[in-house]
Structure 1
Amino acid sequence: MGMWVGRGRKARRCYGFDEIALVPGGTTINPNEVDTSWELGGKTYKVPIMAAAMDGVVDVRFAIEMARLGGIAVLNLDGIQTRYENPEEILKKIAKASSDEATKLVQSLYVKPIKEKLIEKRIKEIKKKKATVAVSTIPQNAERFGNIAQKAGADIFIIQSTVISVRHISKQYKVVDLKKFIRSMKIPVILGNCVTYNVALELMEAGASGILVGIGPGAACTTRGVLGIGVPQVTATSDASAARDFHYKKTGKYIPIITDGGMDSGGDICKA
């Protein structure tokens, strides 16, 4: 399988959304009667869309409105919302900054430490409106923020990094034991990001309630250009889905695959 790209090196053809199309089947259905609902951790959601945990996308008001419409918006616990009492003022500063000023400004703004009391406050602000509360943090902060988020009323906890694995190596900080952490949580834990069958399967075996798939396909992502890593999104999603199907046959547990990034149109969402 695959093609030779050099002596001793093989590669296979992979695909992005622009390179494929859906083939109509032998049965048609009224679009108004299509069921797009999905389930996570025993709860059903009407719209299969999650807004990314980006400071420029999700704040408290956005999360509340997204939940009202049937979807989920993920609040970034490592960002502006949990560092500043009035995040709107900070976001306005960033928006007004010139392209030459923006990088230094953002770097300076993110030096301020995260306040645990603001994590609790933001979660309760969303929860007060009876909206689903999904929050995200990097692996290094998972143990610190997980218990706070859970006690404050979060419904979904996401551990997300550019690339995640169950065998992370670091001498600079304590590496979170994903399996142990998930067992300690009473709410669903989503893990990401990954792009391969094997890693997706290992994350499911660690106890993930959902898997985020995608490295570098997003409009604001520079991973592929900076690090040279990634897999075209359709192939990555398909491989992770195959791992999910294997895991389901083996355990009876169905783990949602969440394709993260690279979608520019409604057609891309349908393909995903």
Structure 2
Amino acid sequence: MDPMQSGMPETLAPLGLTFDDVLLLPAESDVIPSEADTTSKVSRNVTVSVPLLSSAMDTVTESRMAIAMARQGGLGVLHRSVSIDEQARQVDLVKRSESGMVTDPVTIGPDATLAEMDAMCGHYRISGLPVVDDAGVLMGIVTNRDIRFVPATEYDHRLVRSVMTPMPLVTAPVGIKPDDAFALLGEHKIEKLPLVDGDGRLKGLITVKDFVKSEEYPNATKDAEGRLLSAAAVGFFGDAWERAMTLIDAGADVLVVDTAHGHTSALLDMVGKLKAEPKAAGVDVIGGNVATRAGAQALVDAGVDGIKVGIGPGSICTTRVVAGVGVPQVTAINEAAQAARPAGVPVIGDGGLQYSGDIAKAIVAGADTVMLGSLLAGVAESPGELIFINGKQFKSYRGMGSLGALRKRGASDTGSRDRYFQADVVADDELVPEGIEGQVPFRGPLGSVTQQLIGGLRQSMFYTGASGITELQQRGRFVRITSAGLKESHPHDIQMTVEAPNYSGRR
């Protein structure tokens, strides 16, 4: 009998290992680190060029982080501790932020005021809008350049038609090749190319910004139409189904059914219902979190496209102390992979990572990608509040099981309570938190942080002789270490005077 599943195992308890308990064995190698391929699977149908996801936490991932993560080649999961409309708006912002072609461009009518136009441009972070009539026929275009010399005091009564650049404009037919579109943009020195049908109706928009972004971020995570991929978390309680359908309407590519304990009938039912919903046919569904082989198998049987693993490993999580429940993360990932891998379901190692070397350890244990919280909470793109303490910069970071997150949306809603199965708790003083609130050092832009994390992963692949993620999973071997071995692994017998960008000492 598997001791992980038995109430009375042959020994008192099976051994659980985490990242500090193991190292990877070096092996013969002819791999050049810069040439190592870090492409991997998040779910059955979603591939990323770097195996990193940002956690669905309210101090880690909102639209700005999700956009930045996708541009870096990973994926950000938008948290759900906001209203349905707000989360859907963030999905829409991600999808509209960068496109090979905008198939549903934001437009404005000729009789709208300049104040309305200015507000729309600010909301969507764009510099101009196509002007269409009630039938969708393109009438012109209005940009910030057109209103630059209009006094702000006139915005409320001046109409778009009075300042727009009217037709005829430089346009192109739907289906134009990217190279031809870029040539038109360059030839006419314009930034936006409207796409129209035979009747002059606006059907799409190509912008020079998208070509620039494609060159700047060649490994960005995109859909078949060239738009950034968007992932969002949902629950299983209350308005969860409405939320999921609204997010799909907004363009979400991945839904993460996200709870603290994924091996429950409520979550499994939600996964099954989503996989059976025709509207969700093109959307991958990830379930979690689990920490055992049985939990992973239950999710596989429910039809998930990806499995999130981790109960209690996060730096701000207290589940293992408050509830006394959990499995050390290397063992948890390995157990889940034994059920997931035969079914072709990718595994996401969620939590517990402190250094870039832990990413490689998670992958060798059986993960295909990893989800990061504290390592990304301190970047410029995270929504956490920037704090100054004794001249140093920090960003706020809290667990979704912390008291602040549990009661974040007030008595009229559940905050993140349903994630911890406390949605029925009415009074705040009756909540049982499973996380804390704190701060992490400010780490600068996401690009610099991911460069160090992926650079460390590529060094791991060099040392183990693995040219790709699958080969790393196959070739990687662990050696268990003692506390003395862990001490020896870190800088020792020296006073560190200058921190490296990828190492800040033992935590």
Q: Answer whether TM exceeds 0.5 for this pair.
A: yes
Which deviations, in whole Å up to 9, do the C-alpha atoms of 1:49-93 show, x marking residues without a partner?
A: 00000111112111111111111111112x1xx3xxxxxxxxxxx
1:34-113 equivalence runs, <5 A:
34-39=36-41, 40-77=43-80, 79=81, 82=82
1:122 and 2:90 aligned: yes
Shift of 1:8: 8.5
In the aligned structure 1, how far is the partner of 2:251 from the partner of 2:360?
32
Query: Runs of 4 or more off by more than 4 Å in structure 1?
Result: 5-9
Quick check: 1:159–1:191 contact (8 Å CA) kept in 2?
yes
1:229 and 2:232 aligned: no
Give the counterpart of 1:136 among 228, 233, 236: 233
Shift of 1:235: 0.2
1:106-255 equivalence runs, <5 A:
114=83, 116-130=84-98, 131-140=228-237, 141-168=239-266, 176-184=269-277, 185-186=280-281, 187-247=283-343, 254-255=344-345
Name the count of aligned residue pairs: 226
Shift of 1:158: 0.4
Aligned-residue CA RMSD (Å): 2.5
In the aligned structure 2, how far is the partner of 1:271 from the partner of 1:12?
20
Q: Which residue is 1:259 aligned to?
A: 349
In the aligned structure 2, how far is the partner of 1:266 from the partner of 1:194?
23
In the aligned structure 2, how far is the partner of 1:264 from the partner of 1:42?
28
In the aligned structure 2, how far is the partner of 1:66 from the partner of 1:6?
45
Quick check: 1:143–1:176 contact (8 Å CA) kept in 2?
no
Identify which range, 175-184 or 223-232, moves more after superposition.
Answer: 175-184
More helix by share: 1
Q: SS in structure 2 opposite 1:190?
A: strand
Q: Kindly provide the amino acid, as one letter, of the partner of residue 40 in structure 2.
A: W
Extract unaligned runs of 5+ from structure 2: 99-227, 363-507
Q: For residues 7 and 143 of structure 1, do their structure 2 counterparts lie closer, same or farther at Cα, with a shift above 3 Å needed? A: closer
In the aligned structure 2, how far is the partner of 1:76 from the partner of 1:263?
20
In the aligned structure 2, how far is the partner of 1:28 from the partner of 1:7?
44
- The structure showing larger relative contact order (alpha-carbon pairs under 8 Å, at least 6 residues apart) is 2
Shift of 1:165: 2.1
Shift of 1:126: 1.1
Identify which range, 50-59 or 22-31, moves more after superposition.
Answer: 22-31
Which deviations, in whole Å up to 9, do the C-alpha atoms of 1:120-163 show, x marking residues without a partner?
A: 21111111113221100222143121111111100110001110
Give the counterpart of 2:18 among 16, 23, 35: 16
Q: For residues 72 and 148 of structure 1, do their structure 2 counterparts lie closer, same or farther at Cα, with a shift above 3 Å needed? A: same
Q: For residues 222 and 32 of structure 1, do their structure 2 counterparts lie closer, same or farther at Cα, with a shift above 3 Å needed? A: same
Quick check: 1:195–1:236 contact (8 Å CA) kept in 2?
yes
In the aligned structure 1, how far is the partner of 2:47 from the partner of 2:358?
23
Instruction: State TM-score, norm by structure 2.
Output: 0.42
Q: SS in structure 1 opposite 2:256?
A: strand
Shift of 1:27: 3.2
User: Which of structures 1 and 2 has the bigger CA Rg?
Assistant: 2
Extract unaligned runs of 5+ from structure 1: 83-113, 170-174, 248-253
Q: For residues 44 and 168 of structure 1, do their structure 2 counterparts lie closer, same or farther at Cα, with a shift above 3 Å needed? A: closer
Which deviations, in whole Å up to 9, do the C-alpha atoms of 1:3-39 show, x marking residues without a partner?
A: xx99997311110100001112233411111111113
Q: For residues 28 and 19 of structure 1, do their structure 2 counterparts lie closer, same or farther at Cα, with a shift above 3 Å needed? A: farther
Q: For residues 28 and 241 of structure 1, do their structure 2 counterparts lie closer, same or farther at Cα, with a shift above 3 Å needed? A: farther
Q: Kindly provide the amino acid, as one letter, of the partner of residue 53 in structure 1.
A: A
Identity of matched residues, %: 34
Q: For residues 122 and 177 of structure 1, do their structure 2 counterparts lie closer, same or farther at Cα, with a shift above 3 Å needed? A: closer
Q: For residues 148 and 28 of structure 1, do their structure 2 counterparts lie closer, same or farther at Cα, with a shift above 3 Å needed? A: same
Q: For residues 271 and 28 of structure 1, do their structure 2 counterparts lie closer, same or farther at Cα, with a shift above 3 Å needed? A: farther
Q: Kindly provide the amino acid, as one letter, of the partner of residue 206 in structure 1.
A: A
Shift of 1:44: 2.2
Q: Which residue is 1:110 aligned to?
A: none
In the aligned structure 2, how far is the partner of 1:42 from the partner of 1:138?
21
In the aligned structure 2, how far is the partner of 1:233 from the partner of 1:28?
30
